[in-house]
Amino acid sequence: MTDFLEIAGKKISNRLFIGTGKFASYPIMKQALEAAETEVATVALRRVDADLKDKNIIEYIPKPCQVMINTSGARNAEEAVRIARLAKAAGAGNWIKIEVIRDNKYLLPDNLETLKAVEILVKENFIVFPYMCPDLSIGRRMAQAGASAVMPLGSPIGSNRGIKTRELIEIMINEINVPIIVDAGLGKPSQACECMELGSAAVLVNTAIAVADDPVKMAKAFSTAVCAGRLAYLSGIPVTSKFANASSPLTGFLGGKK
């Protein structure tokens, strides 16, 4: 299969990205990442403890996996930029999920501060993935500023409500010329599949996998669903209709007659 998502020279065949918070242990997290064969995993820098060689979360990310550091904890652009720079200095690479949250109740991102951080970090050669509330204008600005992808939320983090922002995300997929990756709120594989059928370039899932009774199986289930959704999208999903459409057309007898 030659269907790759290409970002910053990296060819990604598995379009399920996985977040690494909330797991019961690092070994379980590692097994889940392996079962899903995920190629991109996000890690919060605030959780990385370089002092603990055997318990450092980075050690549990399977080797072929691209680490994407998220700026969890940042309340404005300046803090997000500082976290990104710290991550780079610590050798965690330059793939950054920009997460700027000023709302601890719903954990909804601040689009304006996120956009500012995109503008700064792109100039510093980071590969940036802004997490944002779905909005066409802001998404366009992020893309124009050089974001490698834009990551609108399906519903609030951890809510398991699915793609409640579907209408807005569909518009973004149609109009913005960088990959759209649905991030947050996906509670079950069918919802991830729905995103992929819509044309989302990838999805990012964390809570639904991490807190499942069997996170390893759930990771596999999400991975399979993402693959199915992508295949369906590529196959050309038929338009839905409220009326029946006969398989044998009534005017077939006319053939090619003029």
Residues that bind other proteins (CB under 8 A): 21-26, 44-49, 51-52, 55, 73-75, 79, 82-83, 86, 101-105, 107, 158-160, 207, 210-211
Decide whether 54 or 239 has the Cβ nearer to other proteins.
Answer: 54
Residue 143 beta carbon to other proteins: minimum distance, rounded to whole angstroms: 27
Residue recorded with tokens 């020279």:
9
Decide whether 62 or 156 has the Cβ nearer to other proteins.
Answer: 156
Residue 135 beta carbon to other proteins: minimum distance, rounded to whole angstroms: 19
The answer to whether 154 and 191 are in contact (CB under 8 A) is: yes
Where does residue 22 rank: exposed (0-12), middle (13-18), buried (19+ CB within 10 A)? middle
**Residue 164 identity (one-letter amino acid):** K
Helix (H) or strand (E) holding 188: none
- The phi and psi torsions of 214 (rounded to 5 degrees) equal -125, 90
Q: Which long-range contacts (CB under 8 A, 24 or more apart) does 171-176 make?
A: 171/136, 172/134, 172/136, 172/139, 173/198, 173/199, 173/200, 174/199, 175/136, 175/140, 176/136, 176/139, 176/140, 176/143, 176/150
Q: Of 97, 123, 220, 242, which one is the catalytic site residue?
A: 97
- Cα torsion for 200, 129, 218, 36, to the nearest 10°? 90
Decide whether 7 or 157 has the Cβ nearer to other proteins.
Answer: 157
Decide whether 163 or 178 has the Cβ nearer to other proteins.
Answer: 163
Q: How far apart are CA 120 and CA 210, in angstroms?
A: 32
Residue 6 beta carbon to other proteins: minimum distance, rounded to whole angstroms: 31
Where does residue 211 rank: exposed (0-12), middle (13-18), buried (19+ CB within 10 A)? middle
The answer to whether 195 and 163 are in contact (CB under 8 A) is: yes
Residue 79 beta carbon to other proteins: minimum distance, rounded to whole angstroms: 6
**97 counts as catalytic:** yes
Residue 148 beta carbon to other proteins: minimum distance, rounded to whole angstroms: 23
Decide whether 51 or 167 has the Cβ nearer to other proteins.
Answer: 51
Residues catalogued as catalytic: 97
